[in-house]
Structure formats: structure tokens, C-alpha cells
């Protein structure tokens, strides 16, 4: 594990961070751990100092966002590979050394996503395609109402067997193994994203620079989705849609971007309202 730094971003998830670091200590001995805390007020910082003194702790005075925190961790990490991680992941035993060997043997691979599991053992859709505009529209508006529609299936690569390594467009920033030198050469994550889509963006830029992005099921971990974002769901919903718009403007430039701008803005507005109504409906059902 001497080749990898764990870069764990935390915001007010002390219990999850404790479980993450405990599993890292047990399952990944020798890995460097860098915890970047985004101004937590729940005792996370004190907990790391007292219970995990072997972890390097970086304290941001406020919350500059996920991309900014990842960059701080990338800059201070010292190993050839940086494993970008949410604080609500839990590691399992075995597999990481083999994945690091794979990265050593494939110098053209700059980002790798492991097999990410839900707590019940089912796979998360942690590797995906860059969607077409049609897939964007259908998935964006119908994905929550009809999650098994063919456009969402294609975008989320739901039919992928997930048994062998394969090249993909992007992998989730909840658990993304990066070739540190390649990521830093691009300037790291784009900090104009506060939260969400920064993972899509860095994979897109790495691929444009000639690198490849790979899904590798040889290493697996468990991800408890949404512990940070659920704390401020309406605000996070806003940032999600803002980030999608930022990536759209980067991906579609010139006349194509201007031509697509009105329907994209209308679609994002409709998706935001629909998502907000669905969230409020689920919250109301939970209170019944």
C-alpha cells in the first residue's frame, strides 16, 4: 500500500468518517490517509486527532466545495496514486494491490473506478458514459420516474457485467483512483464546481489529454450514498444542476453551445422543479 494516498473529503459526517478510517486501518495497512475537512462543526476534526493520529488532517476554515478539497488533498499527498474518496465509504479486504499493479502496467490509464457496492451488496452505477443530448433529456426528466428506461440504462451502463476491467467514459468521484501526476498536470479538479460533476469533468479532461479511464472490479468497497448532500438537500440539488450547466458549457462550445442553450436551460429548470417536488413528496411520505 506504499503506492497510494487515500484522500478523504469530509463535511459533518463524523460517524461515517470514523467507520471509513477504521476500515482503512484494518484493510489497507500502509496506505497514506489524508483527511480534508470542509469546516465541520460536528466534532469530526477532534475525532480524527484523537482516534486516528496517523492520518494527515487538513482543515479548511469554511466549505469551499468538494473539488477544492480534493485538490488540497492531491497537492499534499506523496504517493504516485491518489484515491479520491467520500467519507461514507467502507473498505473491504483485498484487491487494491492488484489494481495498483494494473495501473503500473497500464501507464495510459489515469483514472480508475473500483466496484462500488450498496450496503445490501448490490452494485452502484459508478461508471458511466458521457450522455448524448437525447440521453441527457430523457434520463434527466424520466430517470427518477422511470429508472429502467433504455436511455438511462445506456447512460448508467446498467447492462455491463462488471466482471472484467473495461474502458469507460467516467467513474464516480465517490471512489476514484487517480494517477496523481496526470491529474496535477491538468490542474486537478475544476473548482468552479462546488459539488457534483467534478468527477465527470476531470475524466473528460483526462481523456482529451490522451489518457484512458477504466472500471476495474478487482477492488471493491461499500458506499453509503448521500450522507453529506442529504444534510442540505435543496442547496445540493441547486448545485447539482448548476454543475451540469457548467459542464454543458465546457463540452458544447461555439455555435452548437449557443444553439442548444435555450432547450438546455429549460430542461434543467424543469428537472430541478421535478426533482424538488419528488424529494418533498418522499419526505412527506416518510413523515406519515
pLDDT tens by residue, 17-73: 999 999 999 999 999 999 999 999 999 999 999 999 999 999 999 999 999 999 999
User: What Cα–Cα distance (Å) separates residue 13 from each residue in 26, 199, 220, 235?
Assistant: 20, 21, 22, 17
Region of poorest pLDDT, from 61-75, 197-211, 267-281: 267-281
End-to-end CA distance of the chain: 48
Please check the confidence at residue 93 and state whether its pLDDT lies above 80. Answer: yes
Domain ranges for the chain, please list them. Answer: 4-130+157-228
What confidence tens digit (pLDDT) does each residue in 241-271 have? 999 999 999 999 999 999 999 999 999 999 9
State residue 227's pLDDT score. Answer: 53
What's the rounded Cα separation, in Å, for the pair 236 and 238? 5
Listing DSSP states for the chain in one string gives -TTEEEEEEESS-HHHHHHHHHHHHHHSTT-EEEEEEES--SSHHHHHHHH-TTSEEEEESS---HHHHHHHHHHH--SSEEEEEETTEEE-SS-HHHHHHHHHH-TTEEEEEEEEE-TTSPBP--EE----HHHHHHHHHHTTTSTT-HHHHHHTTTT---SS-EEESEE-TTEEEEEHHHHHHTTSS-TT-SSSSHHHHHHHHHHHTT-EEEEEEEEEEEE-TTTTGGGGHHHHHHHHHHHHHHHHHHHS-HHHHHHHHHHHHHHHHHHHHHHHHHHHHHHHHHH-
State residue 226's pLDDT score. Answer: 59
Please check the confidence at residue 175 and state whether its pLDDT lies above 50. Answer: yes
Contact 178, 111 (CB under 8 A): yes
- Residue of higher predicted confidence among 165 and 231: 165
Please check the confidence at residue 76 and state whether its pLDDT lies above 90. Answer: yes
Mean pLDDT throughout 262-281?
90
- 288 pLDDT tier (thresholds 50, 70, 90): very low
Region of poorest pLDDT, from 17-21, 82-86, 132-136, 193-197: 132-136
Please check the confidence at residue 229 and state whether its pLDDT lies above 80. Answer: no
What's the rounded Cα separation, in Å, for the pair 234 and 190? 23
34-66 burial, b for 16+ CB within 10 Å, e for fewer?
Answer: bbbbbebeeebbebbeeebeebbbbebeebbbb
The whole-chain average pLDDT of the chain stands at 93
How much of the chain exceeds pLDDT 70, in percent? 97
For the segment(s) 4-130+157-228, the CATH number from 3.40.50.1000, 3.90.550.10, 3.30.1360.200, 3.40.50.2000 is 3.90.550.10
- 230 pLDDT tier (thresholds 50, 70, 90): very low
Count Cβ atoms below 10 Å from residue 72 Cβ, excluding itself. Answer: 19
Amino acid at each position: 500500500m506504499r503506492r497510494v494516498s487515500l484522500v478523504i473529503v469530509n463535511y459533518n459526517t463524523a460517524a461515517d468518517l470514523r467507520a471509513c478510517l477504521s476500515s482503512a486501518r484494518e484493510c489497507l495497512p500502509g496506505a497514506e490517509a489524508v483527511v480534508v475537512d470542509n469546516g465541520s462543526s460536528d466534532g469530526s476534526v477532534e475525532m480524527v486527532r484523537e482516534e486516528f493520529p496517523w492520518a494527515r488532517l487538513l482543515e479548511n476554515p469554511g466549505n469551499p466545495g468538494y473539488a477544492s478539497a480534493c485538490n488540497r488533498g492531491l497537492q499534499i499527498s506523496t504517493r504516485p496514486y491518489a484515491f479520491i474518496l467520500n467519507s461514507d465509504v467502507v473498505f473491504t479486504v483485498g484487491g487494491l494491490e492488484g489494481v495498483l499493479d494494473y495501473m503500473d502496467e497500464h501507464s495510459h490509464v489515469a483514472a480508475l473506478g473500483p466496484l462500488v457496492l450498496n450496503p445490501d451488496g448490490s452494485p452502484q452505477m459508478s461508471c458511466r458514459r458521457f450522455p448524448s443530448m437525447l440521453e441527457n433529456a430523457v434520463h434527466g426528466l424520466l430517470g427518477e420516474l422511470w429508472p429502467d428506461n433504455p436511455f438511462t440504462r445506456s447512460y448508467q451502463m446498467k447492462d455491463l457485467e462488471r466482471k472484467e476491467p473495461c474502458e469507460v467514459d467516467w467513474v464516480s468521484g465517490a471512489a476514484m483512483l487517480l494517477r496523481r501526476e496526470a491529474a496535477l498536470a491538468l490542474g486537478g479538479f475544476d473548482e468552479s464546481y462546488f459539488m457534483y460533476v467534478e468527477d465527470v469533468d476531470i475524466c473528460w479532461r483526462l481523456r482529451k489529454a490522451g489518457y484512458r479511464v477504466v472500471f476495474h472490479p478487482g477492488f471493491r468497497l461499500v458506499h453509503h450514498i448521500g450522507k453529506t448532500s442529504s444534510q442540505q438537500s435543496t442547496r445540493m440539488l441547486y448545485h447539482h444542476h448548476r454543475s451540469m450547466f457548467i459542464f454543458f458549457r465546457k463540452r458544447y462550445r461555439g455555435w452548437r453551445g449557443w444553439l442548444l442553450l435555450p432547450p438546455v436551460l429549460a430542461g434543467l429548470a424543469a428537472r430541478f422543479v421535478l426533482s424538488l417536488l419528488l424529494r418533498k413528496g418522499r419526505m412527506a411520505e416518510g413523515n406519515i
